[in-house]
């Protein structure tokens, strides 16, 4: 195959066409929600609201900002561990997220907020769009370094569409609870990305292990992403929860689970090393697994000790995945997972779905109170005849739906991305910023030897 990575026309054309389409679609379909509309004072009187502080903006915006930071800073910097691909990790994450949130606002609006011919945008719409893009960022980790920015835009276009359909099936048809997106965001995003990278597999990349490794400063930058994600994950899992006890509970459960996963990841990382040393890959990733695994059950009465148990278990699973499962997937199943998303998002996402199903099945009026049980699982309207056991079965079904959508959708999108005109890099140019970026001329770029850079001794 003849590779052509010159994007001078392809990338500008793709960006301009997609943005023009967004402008047209937003102009035709998108309007402000009533709480962002100049008619809000009239709405306040109609709803007998005394203060502007009752506007949903003041409840949701802090969580929106936290989630926004996770998408653009957390995920972006987490992927800077590759020693020669940091520009692309942050820059392409920025690009796909900026496009993805626009397309997500439209797709989710048509499915969830379409009234009288218009999509009504609110701050909650922005949070849900970030959730959708979070799934794309997860998938990006699997193909990091092996695809062009044009391919990423195409992948984002299709994945946002599939994500919205999957989310609609789970939340609106199966009526499952998935506050932190263990199934809709992490499981779907991980297995979609893994399927795409399986289709795009390149056996020759096994010979470029040096470029796929990290250096001291690149791992330090990646750790910045980890810390941002770790700190803000309680906001991520509680951002769209009902105000009051549900949101409060989601923060506590996530906080506890994250803390537990740190200790088990550190312990196992040291235990598995011959000299008891820590591996920064485990610390960057497995320490976050608790936030993923508690996502579905975040609002439920998991109890703080239950959250600690979940974090403890997935910290172990995630670390073991990096040590044993990632090499196995590459050598035996032709799945080259650059960032190890299977261990951070895929396996913990499945655990999260299972925990949610079990916790829902075990719910009772004694634990929640009668009104609390109805409120927690929306047992009214179309769900008025559901029992907690039935709800647990639907929760379990949601796992399989997400997996099916991810695997089938990933195969289709992978085949589309394999077409030769997207500017995909050749094997020898993978994991290299230079192929797509104008990089500063540093001694490393000029291939100077260390002895050439050292000052020469002077003689008197």
For the segment 419-456, what is each residue's pLDDT rounded down to a tens digit? 888 888 888 889 999 889 988 866 555 454 444 444 44
Q: What is the pTM of this model?
A: 0.93
Three-class SS of residue 118? strand
Largest separation between any pair of C-alpha atoms in the chain:
95
Count Cβ atoms within 10 A of the Cβ of residue 447 and give its class: 0-12 exposed, 13-18 middle, 19 or more buried.
exposed
Task: Please report the pLDDT score of residue 448 as a whole number.
Answer: 44
Is the pLDDT at 36 greater than 60? The verdict is yes
Q: Supply 35's token pair.
A: 């709480």
Task: Please report the pLDDT score of residue 384 as a whole number.
Answer: 82
Distance between CA 240 and CA 295 in Å, rounded?
12
Is the pLDDT at 307 greater than 70? The verdict is yes
Task: Please report the pLDDT score of residue 208 as a whole number.
Answer: 73
Asked if residue 232 lies in contact with residue 69, where contact means CB atoms within 8 angstroms, the answer is yes
Distance between CA 362 and CA 356 in Å, rounded?
10
The crossing angle, in degrees rounded to 10, of helices 123-143 and 86-112 is 140
Distance between CA 433 and CA 436 in Å, rounded?
6
The residue ranges of every structural domain in the chain are 27-39+56-423
Average confidence (pLDDT) over 309-331: 96
Task: Please report the pLDDT score of residue 95 as a whole number.
Answer: 97
Average confidence (pLDDT) over 154-174: 97
Task: Please report the pLDDT score of residue 3 as a whole number.
Answer: 57
Q: What angle do CA 68, 69, 72 make, to 5 degrees?
A: 85
Which residue did the predictor score with more confidence, 411 or 425?
Answer: 411
- What are the distances in angstroms from CA 294 to CA 39, 67, 236, 302, 363? 40, 17, 11, 9, 16
> Where do the H-state alpha helices sit in 178-244?
188-199, 216-238
Residue with tokens 């000790």: 305
Least confident of 2-11, 224-233, 306-315, 340-349: 2-11
Is the pLDDT at 24 greater than 80? The verdict is yes
Q: What angle do CA 82, 84, 87 make, to 5 degrees?
A: 90
Task: Please report the pLDDT score of residue 446 as a whole number.
Answer: 47
Task: Please report the pLDDT score of residue 444 as a whole number.
Answer: 55
**Average predicted confidence (pLDDT) for the chain:** 92
> Where do the H-state alpha helices sit in 200-303?
216-238, 245-272, 280-285, 289-293
Three-class SS of residue 5? coil
Distance between CA 257 and CA 317 in Å, rounded?
14
Highest mean pLDDT among 31-40, 312-321, 380-389: 312-321
Is the pLDDT at 298 greater than 60? The verdict is yes
Secondary-structure class of domain 27-39+56-423 per CATH: mainly alpha
For residue 135, give the nearest of 12, 292, 27 by alpha carbon.
292
- Residues 6 or more apart from 18 whose CB is under 8 A from it? 99, 153, 157
Task: Please report the pLDDT score of residue 186 as a whole number.
Answer: 98
- What are the distances in angstroms from CA 96 to CA 93, 110, 162, 290, 377? 5, 21, 16, 26, 34
> Considering the chain, what percentage of its residues have pLDDT values greater than 70?
95
Average confidence (pLDDT) over 217-230: 96
Average confidence (pLDDT) over 313-322: 97
Task: Please report the pLDDT score of residue 453 as a whole number.
Answer: 44
- Residues 6 or more apart from 62 whose CB is under 8 A from it? 235
Count Cβ atoms within 10 A of the Cβ of residue 146 and give its class: 0-12 exposed, 13-18 middle, 19 or more buried.
buried
């Amino acid at each position: 195959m003849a590779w052509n990575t010159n994007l001078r026309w392809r990338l500008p054309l793709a960006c301009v066409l997609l943005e023009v389409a967004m402008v047209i679609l937003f102009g035709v379909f998108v309007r402000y929600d009533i709480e962002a509309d100049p008619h809000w004072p009239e709405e306040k009187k109609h709803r007998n609201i005394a203060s502007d502080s009752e506007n949903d903006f003041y409840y949701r915006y802090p969580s929106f900002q936290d989630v926004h930071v996770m998408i653009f800073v957390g995920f972006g910097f987490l992927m800077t561990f590759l020693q020669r691909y940091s520009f692309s990790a942050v820059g392409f994450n920025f690009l796909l997220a900026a496009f993805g949130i626009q397309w997500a606002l439209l797709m989710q609006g048509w499915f969830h907020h379409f009234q009288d011919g218009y999509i009504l945008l609110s701050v909650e719409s922005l949070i849900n769009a970030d959730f959708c893009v979070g799934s794309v960022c997860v998938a990006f980790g699997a193909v990091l370094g092996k695809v062009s920015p044009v391919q990423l835009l195409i992948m984002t276009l299709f994945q946002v569409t599939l994500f919205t359909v999957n989310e609609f099936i789970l939340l609106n048809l199966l009526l499952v609870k998935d506050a932190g997106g263990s199934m809709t965001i992490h499981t779907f995003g991980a297995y979609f990305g893994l399927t795409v990278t399986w289709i795009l597999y390149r056996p020759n990349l096994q010979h470029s292990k040096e470029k796929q490794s990290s250096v001291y400063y690149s791992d330090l930058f990646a750790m910045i992403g980890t810390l941002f994600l770790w700190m803000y994950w309680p906001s991520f899992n509680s951002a769209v929860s009902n105000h009051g006890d549900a949101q409060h509970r989601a923060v506590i459960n996530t906080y506890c689970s994250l803390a537990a996963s740190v200790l088990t990841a550190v312990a196992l990382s040291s235990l598995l090393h011959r000299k008891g040393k820590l591996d920064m890959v485990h610390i960057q990733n497995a320490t976050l697994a608790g936030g993923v695994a508690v996502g579905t059950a975040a609002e439920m009465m998991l109890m703080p000790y239950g959250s600690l148990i979940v974090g403890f278990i997935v910290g172990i699973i995630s670390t073991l995945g990096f040590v044993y499962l990632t090499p196995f997937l590459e050598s035996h199943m032709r799945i080259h997972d650059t960032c190890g998303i299977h261990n951070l998002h895929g396996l913990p996402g499945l655990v999260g779905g299972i925990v949610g199903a079990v916790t829902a099945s075990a719910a009772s009026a004694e634990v929640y109170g009668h009104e609390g049980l109805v409120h927690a699982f929306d047992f009214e309207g179309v769900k008025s005849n559901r029992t907690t056991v039935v709800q647990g079965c639907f929760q379990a079904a949601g796992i399989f739906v997400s997996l099916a959508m991810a695997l089938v959708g990933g195969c289709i999108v992978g085949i589309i991305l394999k077409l030769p005109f997207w500017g995909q890099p050749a094997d020898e140019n993978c994991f290299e910023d230079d192929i797509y970026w104008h990089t500063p001329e540093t001694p490393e770029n000029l291939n100077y030897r260390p002895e050439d850079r050292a000052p020469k001794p002077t003689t008197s």
